[in-house]
Amino acid sequence: MTTEFDGFFKDAFDDLTRVMGESLTYRPRAGGTRALTGIVNRDPPQVFLSNEIVTPLLMISVHHDSTTGIVYSEIDAGDQIDVAVKPGATAETRLITKVESSDGGVTVLVVR
């Protein structure tokens, strides 16, 4: 069930992607590509496990939509995304390692 808050959040995310979004290309393991726009966090928080630092290289937020974004349930092991690792750099194909969250019309991906 979609709440009123989810609707407002999705509208706000639309505005945010227009201002801060970057062009990305989703590459499902099964083949094909999908052009989309997302917000790339290049400095995500660090996670500490057993005295080791595990840091996702990038976290990418996209619409939770099968045409303009990525629905969490369509992610399979081996799916990739083309993203600029540094701002303004040429996009590189990177592995989607995890769906961090999917709420309020936004899917957050961990990419290495």
At residue 5, the pLDDT reads 77
Per-residue pLDDT of the chain (112 residues; tens, 9 = 90+): 667 877 787 788 989 999 999 999 999 999 999 999 999 999 887 666 667 766 668 999 999 999 999 999 999 999 999 999 999 999 999 999 999 999 878 999 999 8
Please give the model's pTM, rounded to 2 decimal places: 0.86
Alpha helices in 3-91 (DSSP H): 4-20
Reading phi first (left if > 0) and then psi (alpha if -120 to 50, else beta), residue 110 is in beta
Read off φ and ψ for residue 106, nearest 5 degrees: -130, 135
